[in-house]
Structure 1
Amino acid sequence: MPARRTIVLTASAVGVAMLMSACAGAGEGDAELGTEENPVQLGVVGASEPYWETYEAAVEDAGIAIDIVDFTDYNQPNPALSEGELDVNQFQHIIFLADYNVNAGDDLVPIGSTAIYPLGLYSTQYESVEDIPDGAEVAVPNDETNQARGLLILQQAGLITLADGGSPFSTVADVDEAASRVTVTALDAAITASSLPDVAAAIINNDFITDAGLTPEDAIAQDDPADESAFPYINIFATTQDNADDDVLAQLVEIYQSTPEVQEGVLEAAGGAAVLTQTAVEDLQTSLEEVQADIEAQ
């Protein structure tokens, strides 16, 4: 197998510029996508997980050249895809993509599913939700979709009350402070884990759990990825409308879904808590359209 080609980007314009020069642009030239002259540029968050190396090997065994581009900020892979610096990305759920499309005026589409990951509440100071004292501070991610999901977890755990019962579009502004046990602070998703010494508890996205020395089993509260209402939280491969029917990208999805070592690695990285999915693309697209319509109606 060729030497692993992983590019790590930070959340900055400089990072995107580095990607442009390092990758020479996804799809540039006349070479067929997936060849050594034009390897597929796949954007992810958390490429250090061992299963990505397993996946890369499986893809290259299938005769497809690939570069895995590792981002450290959830807000970068979609713009990079839209701008042609990536061919496909895999890091987000349907709601996140819907929110991006509506706010950016874009039309990125899902081309395959991966898994639903539980979102958890973690603490290094308290062993249970009940132990968290009244008036304590709890952190949630500041991106709109994960913020709303985190707030719903806090409400289910009895820590806060949300106006009108909450929704997939709730924000910190919707917290009824008078009826809540704790105060809530929104932080960048990448630093909710590092905030644990300073807050009573924090909602931490799955991609940052390992880096914080935690496992999903350490969560003191989480949502249920197997619940029917979790469908819009299915994680997906996404690409542009122009590439939606590309056979090489379809192969990438099929390899991810059908390679046992990759699937086992995904489950291991999630502490066994993920629910693997092979959802029909048509159903993913329908869910995306419904969520986008809900967002536009807000």
Structure 2
Amino acid sequence: MSLHKKAAASIVALATAFSLTACGGGDDSDVIKVGTTDQGQKQWQVFTEEAKAEGLNVELVPFGDYSLPNRALEEGEIDVNNFQHLMFLADFNVNSGTDLTPIGATEIIPLALFYKDHDNIKDVEDAKEVAIPNDPTNQGRALHMLAENHLVVLKDDSILSPTPADVDEAKSKIKVTPVDAAQTVTAYQDGKPAVINNSFLDRGNIDPTSAIAQDDPQSPSAEPFINAFVTKADRKDDPDLKKLVDVWHSQKVQDALREQSKGTSVEVKKNGPELEKILDNVEARIKESK
């Protein structure tokens, strides 16, 4: 066989092998990878089942903390994530120079204060110290919530994401101690009052209804804390990704979410453009504050 014919035969063989591979069981081009930090919760199991019934092949990709799912999305390791509110997303976009985009709302989960074996806010005052998440957006939300419940006084309550430096310690009833969001559960288990994100309550076997105080999800000021499905800007109109939002709002998923959150989650139905408007406003305020 001539060199030319050998080369041609090799090309045909390679093409045939590629074709067989593409047609085989190893093809996962139709898999939608969804990043989340609370994949063990009941609503996710129901969600994947309902998505399958709608012809969507969903693979949940778990992450141990909040710093990873957006990076994974930006780097193309996942297709979409659902773990964050718009304030968190805005802070990430502004500080990372990215344009990750919300495509549909899910719910608002109140941010709450917990104190093991206590049910009175006066007990928190007596404890003198509260652990709060140290990521910028949840830290700011926690401080606003503590201020609304008269445990701390902010020097300027118009600041979008205050830090402990913005707390007037002389006028406040307690001191705040920022820790990693996952460590707020440890603080709680060690007998300290703590503001704990809903995603971590299961890890500490904490009843969401045992909160001593929380923010108001019905307030207009709560809009930045709407949770959402988020993807890269160039995929915001992907029909399969949009269908994930519809699946999330199906009756079975919502029933599972209400059971999981013990009725504390508040369903929100806002589309991508509505969420982008809120996000743009929050991002602009973050940039102004720098």
- Provide the TM-score with structure 1 as the length reference: 0.85
Q: Which moved more, 1:238-247 or 1:274-283?
A: 274-283
Paired residues, number: 266
For residues 199 and 295 of structure 1, what CA distance do their matches in structure 2 show? 35
Structure having the higher helix fraction is: 2
Partner SS, residue 182 of structure 2: helix
Larger radius of gyration: 2
For residues 22 and 107 of structure 2, what CA distance do their matches in structure 1 show? 34
For residues 125 and 200 of structure 1, what CA distance do their matches in structure 2 show? 10
In structure 2, the residue matched to 1:115 is 107
1:46 aligns with 2:19: no
In structure 2, the residue matched to 1:265 is 256
Aligned to 2:165, which of 166, 173, 194?
173
Q: What's the Cα RMSD here?
A: 1.8
Distance of aligned partners of 1:141 and 1:246 in 2 relative to their CA distance in 1, 3 Å threshold: same
Structure 1, unpaired ranges of 5+: 1-28
Question: Is contact 2:111–2:214 with CA below 8 Å preserved after alignment?
Answer: yes
The superposition leaves residues 62-112 of structure 1 with CA deviations (integer Å, 9 ceiling, x where unpaired) of: 121111001110110000000000100000011110000000000000000
1:152 aligns with 2:120: no
Distance of aligned partners of 1:30 and 1:188 in 2 relative to their CA distance in 1, 3 Å threshold: farther
Question: Is contact 1:135–1:181 with CA below 8 Å preserved after alignment?
Answer: no
In structure 2, the residue matched to 1:190 is 182
For residues 276 and 92 of structure 2, what CA distance do their matches in structure 1 show? 15
Partner SS, residue 245 of structure 2: helix
For residues 152 and 197 of structure 2, what CA distance do their matches in structure 1 show? 19
Q: Which amino acid aligns with 1:157?
A: N
For residues 272 and 209 of structure 2, what CA distance do their matches in structure 1 show? 31
Identity of matched residues, %: 40
Question: Is contact 2:125–2:151 with CA below 8 Å preserved after alignment?
Answer: no
Question: Is contact 1:137–1:200 with CA below 8 Å preserved after alignment?
Answer: yes
Question: Is contact 1:135–1:183 with CA below 8 Å preserved after alignment?
Answer: no
Aligned to 1:236, which of 203, 228, 238?
228
Question: Is contact 1:136–1:200 with CA below 8 Å preserved after alignment?
Answer: no
Q: Which amino acid aligns with 1:70?
A: P
For residues 231 and 59 of structure 2, what CA distance do their matches in structure 1 show? 15
Question: Is contact 2:184–2:195 with CA below 8 Å preserved after alignment?
Answer: yes
Greater relative CO (CA pairs within 8 A, separation 6+): 2
Question: Is contact 1:152–1:167 with CA below 8 Å preserved after alignment?
Answer: no
For residues 274 and 167 of structure 1, what CA distance do their matches in structure 2 show? 26
For residues 197 and 73 of structure 1, what CA distance do their matches in structure 2 show? 19
Structure 2, unpaired ranges of 5+: 1-20
Report the CA distance between 1:200 and its aligned residue: 3.3
Partner SS, residue 149 of structure 1: helix
For residues 170 and 179 of structure 1, what CA distance do their matches in structure 2 show? 16
- Provide the TM-score with structure 2 as the length reference: 0.87
Report the CA distance between 1:125 and its aligned residue: 4.9
Runs of 4+ with deviation above 6 angstroms:
none
